[in-house]
């Protein structure tokens, strides 16, 4: 199994854990503001394989206590559940980042008890989902099923939206809120432009706008927070 990036230490990606972040390749969406374009389109070169990752983790016992799998979309990698199992057998907690496009694969890792924390991106309200993910049409059935599985089966979780102009405004957040109604926590994270963004011309809302969007979302969830503002 190929690994396409490794951040050896993060205090932010996995709440409550000193972790590393493992990047996998491929994605089902083509979000125009994606900051991991080479991972999304599959053009990034591999940096190691799973054996090398496990060797790294063996050496970091006692220094790290968590591993976050991200992408791209990690659930596209069919070998991921078996790797997660090996990582957990080493004593590490496991976090999964997902866009919710693969509920069956998500159900597999949840039913096997392979993840401690799931972070799912909810891209926008249903009416603007396709535009936001760069597709002519977006089937939200899998997205809704993944949300339901997380709410029902995940040990701990968060939902999150990267907020970016011109895709999000005040009308976005009631629709998102309805999709994740009753969720434990929801984060709005401000877009940050990078050289690796798929297309140029996007910007973040102001801090005041972000706070307003959080207020709109708050009645739908137990906890709402802001990141990157």
pLDDT of residue 35: 82
pLDDT digits (tens, 9 = 90+) for 146-203: 999 999 999 999 999 999 999 999 999 999 999 999 999 999 999 987 665 666 678 9
Q: What is the pTM of this model?
A: 0.95
Domain assignment present for residue 208? The answer is no
Structure tokens at 82: 């078996």
142 falls in which pLDDT band (50, 70, 90)? very high
Domain assignment present for residue 226? The answer is no
Domain count of the chain?
1
In whole angstroms, give the CA distance from residue 99 to residue 119: 8
Residues paired with residue 98 on neighbouring β-strands, in sequence order: 120
41 falls in which pLDDT band (50, 70, 90)? confident
Structure tokens at 18: 């000193």
Closest-CA residue to 3 (of 33, 64, 47, 37): 47
Element (H, E) at 10: strand 5-10
Domain assignment present for residue 184? The answer is no
* Cα 17-26-132 angle, rounded to 5 deg: 90
In Å, what is the CA distance from 75 to each residue of 40, 140, 142, 171? 13, 17, 13, 30
Closest-CA residue to 92 (of 120, 114, 107): 114
C-alpha 155: how far from chain center: 16
Domain assignment present for residue 74? The answer is yes
Domain range enclosing 145:
2-160+190-200
Domain assignment present for residue 219? The answer is no
Average the pLDDT over 55-59 and give the result.
98
Phi–psi pair at 106, nearest 5 degrees: -60, -45
In whole angstroms, give the CA distance from residue 195 to residue 212: 29
Domain assignment present for residue 147? The answer is yes
Which of residues 150 and 33 earns the better pLDDT score?
Answer: 150
Domain assignment present for residue 183? The answer is no
> How many CB atoms neighbour CB 32 within 10 A?
18
- Kindly report the average pLDDT of the chain as a whole number: 95
Structure tokens at 154: 């995940």
Domain assignment present for residue 53? The answer is yes
Kindly tell me if the per-residue pLDDT of 84 is higher than 80: yes
The domain that contains 102 carries what CATH number?
3.20.20.70
């Amino acid at each position: 199994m190929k690994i396409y990036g490794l951040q050896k230490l993060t205090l932010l990606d996995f709440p409550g854990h000193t972790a590393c972040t493992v990047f996998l390749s491929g994605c089902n969406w083509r979000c125009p503001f994606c900051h991991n374009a080479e991972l999304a389109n599959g053009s990034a070169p591999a940096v190691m394989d799973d054996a090398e990752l496990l060797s790294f983790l063996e050496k970091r016992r006692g220094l790290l206590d968590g591993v976050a799998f991200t992408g791209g979309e990690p659930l596209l990698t069919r070998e991921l559940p078996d790797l997660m199992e090996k990582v957990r057998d080493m004593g590490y907690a496991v976090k999964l980042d997902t866009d919710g496009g693969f509920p069956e694969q998500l159900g597999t890792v949840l039913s096997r008890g392979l993840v401690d924390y799931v972070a799912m991106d909810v891209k926008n309200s249903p009416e603007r989902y396709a535009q936001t993910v760069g597709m002519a049409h977006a089937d939200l059935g899998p997205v809704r099923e993944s949300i339901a599985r997380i709410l029902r089966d995940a040990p701990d979780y968060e939902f999150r939206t990267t907020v970016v102009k011109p895709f999000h405004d005040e009308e976005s957040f009631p629709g998102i809120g309805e999709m994740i109604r009753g969720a434990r926590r929801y984060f709005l994270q401000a877009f940050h432009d990078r050289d690796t963004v798929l297309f140029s011309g996007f910007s973040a809302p102001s801090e005041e706008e972000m706070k307003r969007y959080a207020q709109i979302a708050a009645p739908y969830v137990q906890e709402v927070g802001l990141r990157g503002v």
